[in-house]
Chains A and B, each alone.
Chain A
Amino acid sequence: MSEKPPNPSPCPDLESLSAWFDGEEEQEVAAGHVEACPECNRKVDAYGVIRKGVRQGLAPANDLIHRIKAACGREHASRLSRGWAPHPFSPLRLAWAAGLVLVAGGLSLLLSRPPRGAQALPVAAGAAALPSAMPVNVVTPAAPKPAALAAAPAGDSGVARPVAAGDLRLVSLGAPPAAAAAVPQPLPARIRHVWVVGDLAAARGIVGRTLPGQPLASTRNGSLRGEVELRDADVVRLVEALQAAGFSLVSPQAPQPGAGQQVAVQGRPVAYAFELVPAAGK
């Protein structure tokens, strides 16, 4: 008969011990072993210190929530100014839905009537319910020959003929999407651009000449950062100037070089934050 060791169960492997600590493996690791084993006990204590340290260290800056809300507020306002609304039954969506219904109605009417030439469909009542900024334009088939027109008695519903795709030229509701996308947009209140530069020292000089007195902070990762408040038009000009100086913009946010016409200049102040990053290998 051998003497019973103080803690007969073997120490669990590290993965099991760690999972047990997280409550993921209650059955596989005996709590009694950890209680009795000084080495495992020490490890579990260390896990506790690590967990506490991570949790405390993960607390974000006090003002992060406010910054996020402010950014979301700007985004919300920007989208509203572009005609976006979050409500599923917003006037815009209702207008589109009404337009679709009218189009469907128009198609149905066309299918049930003989061609009578180009004329306004009876959409006036529906259109009256739409916002005045959203005119409904339904263009029906081109006018048939006068003889056919004369042959068709007024109010005659006649026999439907199939409507070919070419019969309908265009149904539009407000501005077509492509045109809407091309409408210049105002800049947001804050922009952050990352530029890749070939020579950081030269880039510092260029920025110094372009924005006299503008302080630049060197970061530990080897880039330069700055922030300046400019009028939106000046931000557009600055972006063009930096591009012309050989900087390469990698951020997708407007304004983009060569696309200044897509910016609706309103004379508003814009906080322009920029980071100059040396190209890899520089």
Chain B
Amino acid sequence: MSKNTTETALTDAELVTRFQNGDRSAYEALVDRHSEKAYQIAYGVLGNREDAEEVAQDVFIRIMRALTHFRGDAEFTTWMYRIAINLARNKYRWNKSRGVPQSFSLDAPIEGGDNDSGNPGFDVPSPRLGPDGQAVIGELERNVMVELEKLPDIYREALVMRNMEELDYNQIADLLGCKLGTIKSRIARAREELRRRLNL
């Protein structure tokens, strides 16, 4: 059995122990396993791909520094999620303090061509969700991300965390420090706002 195969079969706790014993490849296995989640959490808070990637990178550097002291009192993922949220929120506050708009698309042209008119900037396809063809659905899904970035931050972060599948409402409430009802409300409002903006 190859080393990589072995590592994919190991639990997070086992990988952590291996890293603590000097096996650096175990840490790379943790990065393989969880970097996407760290990115998604950061994106949920920041609504900005480049900042989210930067935060995801910082998350794993911070974890590497602290992992020797990690005793496994909490799940590795829970710990990682908290670090990701804290770093993303720090980044968010920093952006806010310098007056950077919190939600904008980095896919937009760097200079000129500002399309931030408040309108979606695309032709919303038919609101009918019947079998209108994959092209329409595909376009809708792309538009979802455009509008997601414009959502109020508290709605976006809750909806993004929910759509990571593994996180249920209780976990999201715990990570964000909110009540369960608040999370339920934010996710519903996020969906409704997106539905309204996309004319679905």
Contacts and interface: CB of A to CB of B under 8 A. Distances in A.
Q: Do A and B come from one complex?
A: yes
Interface of A: 14-15, 17-19, 22, 24, 42-43, 45-47, 49-61, 64-65, 67-69, 71-73, 75-76, 79, 85-88, 90, 192, 196, 217-223, 250, 277, 279-281
A53 B53 contact: no
Is the contact region of chain A dominated by helix, strand, or loop, or is it mixed?
helix
B92 interface: no
B159 interface: yes
Contacts of A73: 24
Contact of A24 (B68, B104, B169, B198): B169
Interface in B177-200: 184-185, 187-189, 191-192, 194-195, 198, 200
A75 B60 CA distance: 10
B163 A51 contact: yes
B31 A53 contact: no
B56 interface: yes
Contacts of B27: 72, 76
B137 interface: yes
B3 interface: no
Interface string B96-137: 011111001010111100100000000000000100000001
25 contacts: A15-B184, A24-B184, A42-B200, A43-B195, A46-B195, A49-B137, A49-B140, A49-B200, A50-B144, A50-B191, A50-B194, A50-B195, A53-B142, A56-B145, A60-B40, A60-B49, A64-B36, A68-B35, A75-B61, A88-B20, A217-B110, A218-B111, A221-B104, A222-B100, A250-B94
Contact of B31 (A43, A49, A55, A65): A65
B86 interface: no
Contacts of B160: 54, 58
Residue among A51, A61, A279 with the highest chain B CB neighbour number at 10 A: A51
Given A19-B188, A22-B169, A60 B148 contact: no
Given A24-B184, A58-B43, A72-B31, A52 B57 contact: no
A52 B106 CA distance: 21
A111 B145 CA distance: 72
B159 to A, nearest CB: 7
B22 interface: yes
